[in-house]
Amino acid sequence: MNQQHQDERSRIREAMDRLLAGQATVSNGSLTIVALAAEADVHRMALMKRHADLKNHFYERVRTETTQIPESEKKLRETITRLRQTVKNQNAAIEGLRQRVTQLTLAAAVLTQTGDAPVPPPKGPVPDNVIPLHRTT
């Protein structure tokens, strides 16, 4: 590792300590990667890519040293809750569609059943949107 890389890592560690102690000097003091990067004067993507181990260490320290849950974990938990509800809704819709298929299959079987009895004509006036079905022979 070169000297610049070592300097970044030491700045990140110092920034971690300041943020967790509640003594932010540059950032808004939130316990996020964005605040850590600002506090360490390191580009956020450099922290995410080159120093992923320090990012993970920071999240671990946030979890163990504070009662606060990291923002990324909160968002993931919300996403999981939303996706579970979506799956539940889709399973209910699938079950409704299965029941509907069964009903339509039975209705089609009744309508296509061949028999000797003629279809009686409808009683009373027939609405415009009704087409009478005639049995085919």
Mean pLDDT of 62-74: 79
Query: Which tens digit of pLDDT belongs to each residue from 79-118?
Result: 999 999 999 999 999 999 999 999 988 888 887 775 556 6
Write down the pTM of the prediction.
0.51
Which pLDDT score, from 0 to 100, does residue 115 have? Answer: 57
Mean per-residue pLDDT of the chain:
84
* 39 touches 24 (CB < 8 A): yes
HSE-CB at 105 with a 13 A cutoff on CA atoms is 6
- Asked whether residue 19 carries a pLDDT value surpassing 80, the answer given is yes
